[in-house]
Structure 1
Amino acid sequence: MNLERPGARRTLWTNATLATLAEGEHAPGGNADWGLVERGAMVVEGEQLRWVGPAAELPDALRADVVEEHDLDGALITPGLIDCHTHLVYGGERSAEFELRLQGATYEEIARAGGGIRSTVAATRLAGEHELHVLAVQRARALMAEGLTTLEVKSGYGLSLAAEAKCLRVARKLGELGLTVRTTYLGAHALPPEFEGRQDEYVDAVCAWLPELKRQGLVDAVDAFCERIAFTPAQTRRVFEAARALGLPVKLHAEQLSDQGGAALAAEFNALSCDHLEWLSESGIAAMKQAGTVAVLLPGAFYFLRETKLPPIQALRDAGVPIALATDHNPGSSPGLSLLLMLNMACTFFRMTPQEALRGMTVNAARALGLHDRGRLVAGQRADFCLWDAAHPRELAYWFGRNPLRQTVVGGVRRMDR
C-alpha cells in the first residue's frame, strides 16, 4: 500500500479518545457502537483523514513526513456536527405567535389567519440582501460555536423568483465562514398573498423558477411542504417531477401535522430525506426503507410546538431506516440555535440513545444531504472533526447549558469558534 502522497501537508493529532462512529467490524478498537479508540491518533493529509487508529499502531512511514503534531491531552474527538435541516435565512421574528400559542391558538390557526410563514415572507421580502446576510451569519456562528461543520439552508421565505434567489445567494455566502453549505430550494413552502386562491398556478411558478435558479448555481436539492396547510401530494409530485427533469435530488417536509402519504411519494423519487414524520405510517416507513431515504427528526419543533404525537422511532429502528437529527432552525416553530440541545432533546423526548443521537447529527445527517465523504472518523473521509473537553461522547447529549467544545477542524484547518 502506498503511504506517500506528495504535495499535501501532513499533520498528526494524538493523545485523544476518538469516537469514530465507524460501522460494524470496521470499527477500530472493536466497539461497533461508538467506534471508540482510546489513546488514539489521526493523520490528516490536506483536507482528508489519512489514517485513524490507536497511536501505538501508527505506521512509521506516515509519522516520518508529519510536519506538525498536536498533543490533545486526552480530549475527545468526534466527527464534525452536521445540521441537515435549517431555514437560516429570513427577516424578522415571530415571538408574538409564540405568545398566541401559549394562549391557546394552534399552529394551523395562526397560519390560516395570515400569520405563520406568510408573516416571515413579508419581512424577508422587505429585507435587503446585506441585512439578511448579517442576520444569517449571527445564526450560523451560534451553531458553529457548538461544532457545526456542514450546514443545509433552505429557501422558502421569498416565494418569488427574485426573493428566493436572494435568500439562496445569502445561504451560499455562508460558506465563507469556513463551512460546507448545501442549499435547498423550498419554493413550495407556503402560498404567497399575490397567489391567493390560485394554488395550482403558484405551483406552476415554483416549477418554472427552478431552471433559472439552477442555472445560477443556487440549488443543491429541492424540498416541499406536503401538508393540509401547505401543498397536496399531487402538487408536490409536480415539483418533484420538475426537480427530476433537472437532475436535482429531492427532500420533503412530510407527515408533520397529519398523514398525507408524503413519505411514500418522496420515496418514489428516491428522496434524500423525509423530515418531521410524527404521523409517519408503516407503509411510509417501508417505502423509505426501500428507497434508502433518511428520516430526519426535528426535536426542536416538537418541543416548541408542544407536540404530543411522537415519531415512530422504534418502527424506524426495526425497519433499519437511518435516523438523522437537525435543528430545523426557523422563526416560527423552532427558533433554537443549539446543536447540543437537540442531542439532549432527541434523547429526552424521543428516547433515542446518546449514540443514536450523535450518529444522527454526523453519519446520518451527511447521508440526508447526499454527502458520503464525512460523518465518520475513518481514512478517506473529509477531515472535519471536533475536539471536546469530555471523557465520553455520551456527555454531549447529557449536558445542556454547558458547551464543552474546545476546537473545530474543517477540511484539515483549525477553526476557532469560541
Structure 2
Amino acid sequence: MRTLVVNSGEIAHMSHGDTAKPLIGKKMGDKDLNIYSEGLGILVEDGVILSITDSEELISEYAPSWDGNSEMIGNMNIIDAKGGAIIPGFVDSHTHLIWGGDRSNEMALRQRGLSYSEISKLGGGISRTVETTRSRSIQELVDLGVQRASNALRLGTTTMEAKSGYGLSTESELKLLEATERVNQVSACDIHATWLGAHDVPKHTTKQEYIEELIGKQLPMVVQQGIAEWADVFCEPGWFTIDDTIEIITASKNMGLGSRIHADEFVDSGGLGITAELGSISADHVAKSDDDSRAKAHDSGVMQTFLPGTQYVLGIDEFPPMKKCVENSWAFSIATDFNPNCNTISMPFVGSIATHRCGIDPITALAASTRNPSTTLKNNKNKNYGVISENNSASFNILHSKKVESWCQSPGMNPISKTLANGIIVKHN
C-alpha cells in the first residue's frame, strides 16, 4: 500500500550523519543540519519511506490526476499536509505502560511534605500498585495497555519501551510481560519490553530472598518466555544497592538480556557510574549524577535518559541538567516515565518541560525525543526509528503548525493533526 504526503511545511528529518548514533552537542539543535524547507512531499510504501522530494514532482509522477481534494487515487492514499510541519514519530524509551489501580490520593500526601520514600513506607507507592495490578486478569491488563498505547499514539508516539515491575512475583511479572506483548501485537505503536522484576522488594519477604528468586527463578523464566529485551533495576538507596544491581544485571547479561537501569533519581549513589562497566544501553533518571559519571557513561555508549515529568509531579525545582549535556556533548534522551505517579504519556508535554524548565531549545528537545532514544531500541525490520529518511520506517507526525518548533510549545493541547506509524495512517480528531 502506498501513501503520498504532499505540501509539507518544514520537515525535521533529524538524519544528519550516522543515524545509528545519537546527535550530540550543538548538532542536536542545528536547523541547517536537521530541517528541510517547506514544499516537499514524502512517498511511502509498505511502511517504508521511498522518496522525499518536491511535492509537485511526486504528484506529477505518482498522482497526475489528483484534484487537490481526494484522499485516494486507486490504491494510494494521499495526505495533503496543507503546510503543516512534519517531525519524526516520538520514541518514548522509558514507560511503565501496564499496571492497575489509582494513586491520585498521593498528591495530597506530597503537599503535606511527605517524600516518595515516606509515602512508600506508609503503604503507598510501588507496593500499592503491585496489590491492585496482581488482582487484575491478563485481559484487563491488556485492555489498559491498549488504551494507553492508543493515547500515546494520538500524541505522536510511534515507538515505546514498556517495563514490567508492578508484579514483583514470578507469576505476575510474566503476566505483565505477556500483556505487553499482546498490546504490541494489536497496536500500531511499536512496543519493546523490559523486565523490571527488581523494582521493589515485595511484602513478606527479605531483599536477599527476593534477589535469589529474581536470579534463580524469575530471570530464567523471563528469558524462556522470550518477550523482554532488557533487564532493569531500581538502583536507589532504600530499594536496590549498587552491589544488588551489579549482581542482578550481570546474571541477566549472562543469560542474553541487555540492560537499562533506574539510577540517581533522588541522590547520587553511583548508579550512573556502574552502567558503563555493566554495558547498559541506557541509564534513566540520573538527575543527581556527577559530571565524571556523565562523561564516563557517554564515552562508554550509555544513553542518559532524563525524565523531567518526575520532577514536575514531585514538585522538585531542580530539573535534569540537559543544557550541561549539550555544552559537554554528552548524549541524552528524554522520556515520559509514564507510571501511576507520573501519569502522563505525552511526549509534547515532556518536551515542553524540557524547553521551559531545562533550558534547551525545541529542536534539541526533538532530537532527544526521537533520534537519540531510537539508538537504544532495536528495529526488527532493520530500519531506524526517530528519523525521516529514505529507506527508513515511515513513522512521523504532521503538525497543525508550519513550524517544527511548535511541537512542544502548547502544553495541554495536541500539536499533531495526523500520524503515520510504520505507514499506518492515524487521524486525530
The TM-score, its normalising length taken from structure 1, stands at 0.90
Q: Given the alignment of the two structures, is residue 386 of structure 1 paired with residue 378 of structure 2, yes or no?
A: no
| Counterpart residue number, 2:204 | 194
1:226 CA displacement: 0.5
Q: Given the alignment of the two structures, is residue 36 of structure 1 paired with residue 46 of structure 2, yes or no?
A: no
Q: Given the alignment of the two structures, is residue 377 of structure 1 paired with residue 388 of structure 2, yes or no?
A: yes
| Counterpart residue number, 1:95 | 104
Deviation track 1:156-180 (CA, whole Å, cap 9, x = no partner) reads 1000011001111111122212111
Deviation track 1:193-216 (CA, whole Å, cap 9, x = no partner) reads 121xx2122112112311211211
Letter in 2 for 1:391: K
| Counterpart residue number, 2:67 | none
Where do residues 38-77 of structure 1 align in structure 2 (5 Å cutoff)? 38-55=38-55, 68=76, 69-77=78-86
Letter in 1 for 2:120: A
- Counterpart-to-counterpart distance in 1, 2:428 and 2:81: 17
Q: Which runs of 5+ in 2 are unaligned?
A: 20-26, 65-73
Give the SS at the match of 2:267.
coil
- Counterpart-to-counterpart distance in 1, 2:365 and 2:196: 26
- Counterpart-to-counterpart distance in 1, 2:421 and 2:322: 31
Q: Given the alignment of the two structures, is residue 14 of structure 1 paired with residue 15 of structure 2, yes or no?
A: no
**Is the contact between residue 323 and residue 360 of structure 2 (CA under 8 Å) also seen in structure 1?**
no
- Counterpart-to-counterpart distance in 2, 1:353 and 1:207: 43
Larger RCO (CA within 8 A; separation ≥ 6): 2
- Residues 1:25 and 1:331: Cα distance change in structure 2 (over 3 Å): closer
Q: Which residue of the other structure, out of 188, 195, 216, is the alignment partner of 2:225?
A: 216
Q: Which residue of the other structure, out of 228, 231, 234, is the alignment partner of 1:225?
A: 234
| Counterpart residue number, 2:23 | none
Letter in 1 for 2:134: R
Deviation track 1:265-305 (CA, whole Å, cap 9, x = no partner) reads 11112211111111011121122111111111111111001
| Counterpart residue number, 1:256 | 265
1:144 CA displacement: 1.6
Where do residues 276-295 of structure 1 align in structure 2 (5 Å cutoff)? 276-295=285-304
Q: Given the alignment of the two structures, is residue 242 of structure 1 paired with residue 215 of structure 2, yes or no?
A: no
**Is the contact between residue 94 and residue 337 of structure 2 (CA under 8 Å) also seen in structure 1?**
yes
- Residues 1:339 and 1:315: Cα distance change in structure 2 (over 3 Å): closer
Give the SS at the match of 1:75.
coil
| Counterpart residue number, 2:284 | 275
**Is the contact between residue 280 and residue 311 of structure 1 (CA under 8 Å) also seen in structure 2?**
no
- Counterpart-to-counterpart distance in 2, 1:363 and 1:293: 15
1:61 CA displacement: 7.9
Name the stretch that deviates more: 130-139 or 278-287. Answer: 130-139
Q: Which residue of the other structure, out of 187, 191, 204, is the alignment partner of 1:181?
A: 191
- Counterpart-to-counterpart distance in 1, 2:374 and 2:254: 24
- Counterpart-to-counterpart distance in 2, 1:56 and 1:294: 40
- Counterpart-to-counterpart distance in 1, 2:46 and 2:388: 15
Give the SS at the match of 1:250.
strand
Letter in 2 for 1:368: T
1:394 CA displacement: 0.7
| Counterpart residue number, 1:3 | none
| Counterpart residue number, 1:6 | none
**Is the contact between residue 24 and residue 32 of structure 1 (CA under 8 Å) also seen in structure 2?**
no
1:251 CA displacement: 0.5
- Counterpart-to-counterpart distance in 1, 2:148 and 2:384: 25
- Counterpart-to-counterpart distance in 2, 1:60 and 1:139: 40
| Counterpart residue number, 1:318 | 327
Q: Which residue of the other structure, out of 379, 396, 400, is the alignment partner of 2:407?
A: 396
| Counterpart residue number, 2:69 | none
Deviation track 1:16-67 (CA, whole Å, cap 9, x = no partner) reads 122211216999xx94353223111212122211222444676988889x96
Matched residues, number: 405
Letter in 2 for 1:345: I
**Is the contact between residue 132 and residue 170 of structure 1 (CA under 8 Å) also seen in structure 2?**
yes
| Counterpart residue number, 1:207 | 215
Q: Which residue of the other structure, out of 139, 159, 165, is the alignment partner of 2:174?
A: 165
Q: Which residue of the other structure, out of 145, 149, 152, is the alignment partner of 2:154?
A: 145
Give the SS at the match of 1:38.
coil
Letter in 1 for 2:397: C
Letter in 2 for 1:186: L
Letter in 1 for 2:51: W
**Is the contact between residue 285 and residue 319 of structure 1 (CA under 8 Å) also seen in structure 2?**
no
| Counterpart residue number, 1:366 | 374
| Counterpart residue number, 1:408 | 419
- Counterpart-to-counterpart distance in 1, 2:354 and 2:295: 23
